[in-house]
A and B are shown apart, each in its own frame.
Chain A
């Protein structure tokens, strides 16, 4: 089967999947979110982002205010479908934490937090086919963990602390040096 046909047939599957969805789920996916729902989660998002990119010898996501970036991008630059998936993901995470540890995420110990996020990460790779995943992401939005991680990475690497300390930032390079030896502890360039 050529690649295009393959994609098509996989797509057929995914569409069949949608049809059997309840109307309720469809509506809940496409409703516009209330900004306050996200803004209230600012502290939670800060801790989650910090788990993904922690403070080491360079600043972590929290110090780089990645939580604000996540909220801004979510509210202004993300389709309603994906916003909802994200909000639902937060709710799922909170429910899971409550069921597992009997307390709120922000009350959990570092190792408990890590375990919760690990659980969410596991939950986000439901399909083994790469292409099926792509289609699933397109129809329903990226799984919560992947979306959270993507936003954290984007926000961190483009923040002042992330770009200038977590990575190497060269505001005005002046010259281009095409092939030079890698330095010890060389960081990636923040921009290309």
Chain B
């Protein structure tokens, strides 16, 4: 490839951001707002807010086979089809087109498009606390986080204030409050369980989920109309996505260049400067290869893809992957488990119902190991997420016998109140849970396939048992019947909270990034997606990625101004 000086100039920006999902959208917005000419590279197609949400306003009967995937879907997308339905299939990749290797079963759910998985995410937003930031240091598992809650506190506020998070203040140390819009409301059965929990255990409480769904108009968006169809994209802009929020804000500055259909295959190293000089890109429309240059590079391709991209960026300085002097790159992969929980039926409140479809459930914040508890046989903890409802036709059909008028009458009227809940649990960072490249197998663009080798271990399994136990107990105390405690034993990846493959740490020998998400070994590269996470905590992680991204952008900007980058 020959690049003239003129082209080089044309292809040079102040900053490059790789990936336009939750964290990349934030990076692009922050850098643009600081006046930097920013190139946002996205491997997938463009998805424009509202106009590219083809299913958002469809009725159930508009889907000719209901929400069933076809046999063909299941055959070509054996992983993604377990998450998507005809309503949101277009926001997931095709496994056939984007294969990866599972050393052990691992569900890698992806959305390759502008907005990434911000379109389909569950919108749960929780802050980490010092219980989490100090955990590795306390029990010696994994390296110490180089930051504490106070480093991130203002950035959490900053992120929440921008995206709009509804929730209730609870004044808990293990789950700090945020800048909340009016909370959504618990229904009768959830209040009932909450009252019982408060009465029986002073350390536990049940609160409404904290979600990036707007309970009032916010930043020209929303309010949420309680349709609970968010994963199709929201025509009211009722929830946060890159498409509805950060990317338009970045566009509005006039500093953003968004380039979809651009797979970044390598980060280019400048031997003289000991820095990144830019990136190499395959244009998937023309199959041509381009190079783009910038003073700083933000890597936000999402945890597993980011690891793959860095491992694929080799040079004489970095024979084992970009910035991988520590040998930690690709390792310490984590995902929360959310397999264990319980389901129960309650006979009360038969005269009560609800109207509208609240797009979230409830949360029981972490209550295990708040102090080290010797009676427990596992480290760290979990929170419980769930929701209550009256049985409707989907569930009722299974339990009614026969057919005919009686059957119909029962089918079409509300059944008993039920609650389903499960524990979202911390996963420890294990060195040999990892992502690597298989250079003997290539995708259709000639790039090596990613290989994922991950399993949950003893600590996670013991925690799952405890979850079943405590969930069952809370139900029992609250007078629930037919309690079914379950463990779905879902494989890794199923909670879609992958993280840890380029962790932050104090020491370049044992970590990839410093406390500002800056690469130890290449100062102008910043990684602020989930790969930076030093431990997983048990909170849904994306809010933390946003806060870290905003903080790192500010730092990068200041360093650049000072001439240190």
Contact = CB atoms under 8 A, between A and B. Distances in A.
Interface string B390-419: 101110110000111101110111110000
A158 B404 contact: no
A192 B394 CA distance: 10
Mostly, the B contact residues are: loop
B302 to A, nearest CB: 30
A72 B64 contact: yes
A10 to B, nearest CB: 17
A51 B404 CA distance: 6
A67 interface: no
A175 interface: yes
Nearest to A190: B60
Given A76-B71, A173-B225, A192 B353 contact: no
Given A167-B393, A176-B356, A191 B407 contact: no
A181 B351 CA distance: 6
B404 A114 contact: yes
Interface stretch (B135-143, B180-188, B198-206): B180-188
Contact of A182 (B69, B186, B352, B403): B352
Interface in A134-179: 149-150, 153-155, 157-160, 163, 166-167, 169-179
Contacts of A153: 393, 397, 411
Interface in A43-75: 51-54, 56, 58, 60, 69, 72-73
Given A121-B402, A174-B356, 20 more contacts: A52-B403, A53-B403, A56-B409, A76-B65, A153-B393, A158-B61, A169-B59, A171-B59, A172-B227, A174-B226, A175-B226, A178-B188, A178-B354, A178-B358, A179-B354, A181-B351, A182-B350, A182-B351, A187-B413, A192-B394
Contact of A160 (B59, B65, B352): B59
Given A77-B71, A158-B61, A174-B356, A192 B397 contact: no
A121 to B, nearest CB: 7
Nearest to B410: A188
Nearest to A61: B408
Nearest to A157: B393
A79 interface: yes
A19 interface: no
B228 interface: yes
A152 to B, nearest CB: 8
Interface string B57-94: 00111011110111110000000000000000000000
B408 A56 contact: yes
B80 to A, nearest CB: 16
A111 B71 CA distance: 37
Given A155-B66, A174-B226, A188 B412 contact: yes
A192 B356 contact: no
B352 A181 contact: yes
A30 B225 CA distance: 46
B357 interface: yes
A160 B413 contact: no
B191 interface: yes
A171 B64 CA distance: 18
Contacts of A58: 412
A77 B65 contact: yes
Interface of A: 51-54, 56, 58, 60, 69, 72-73, 76-79, 114, 117, 121, 149-150, 153-155, 157-160, 163, 166-167, 169-183, 186-192
B415 to A, nearest CB: 8
A175 to B, nearest CB: 6
Contacts of B351: 181-182
A52 B409 CA distance: 11
24 contacts: A51-B403, A52-B403, A52-B404, A56-B408, A56-B409, A72-B64, A73-B65, A79-B71, A154-B66, A158-B63, A163-B60, A166-B412, A167-B412, A170-B356, A173-B357, A176-B354, A178-B187, A179-B352, A180-B352, A181-B352, A182-B353, A186-B413, A187-B413, A192-B392
Contacts of A155: 66
Contacts of B402: 121
Given A54-B405, A149-B397, A187 B188 contact: no
B374 interface: no
Contacts of A78: 71
B355 interface: yes
B192 to A, nearest CB: 10
Contacts of A173: 225-227, 355-357
Interface in B340-364: 349-358
Nearest to B411: A153
B354 A180 contact: yes
B389 interface: yes
Contact of A178 (B185, B390, B408, B415): B185
Given A52-B407, A78-B71, A179-B191, A172 B65 contact: no
A167 B409 CA distance: 10
A137 to B, nearest CB: 12
A192 B69 contact: no
A72 B225 CA distance: 32
Contacts of B394: 157, 192
Contacts of A171: 59
Contacts of B185: 176, 178
A177 B184 CA distance: 10
A56 B405 contact: yes
A40 to B, nearest CB: 20
A69 to B, nearest CB: 7
A154 B61 CA distance: 11
Given A77-B68, A179-B191, A53 B227 contact: no
A5 B419 CA distance: 27
5 cross-chain pairs, A with B, having the tightest CB-CB distances, nearest first: A173-B356, A176-B356, A158-B60, A178-B185, A77-B68
Contacts of B66: 69, 73, 154-155, 158
A171 B404 CA distance: 28
A22 B249 CA distance: 66
A163 B356 contact: no
A186 B356 contact: no
Contacts of B352: 179-182
Contacts of B389: 192
Nearest to A60: B408
Given A174-B225, A175-B226, A178-B186, A186 B414 contact: yes
Given A52-B403, A153-B393, A175-B226, A188 B71 contact: no
Contacts of B390: 188
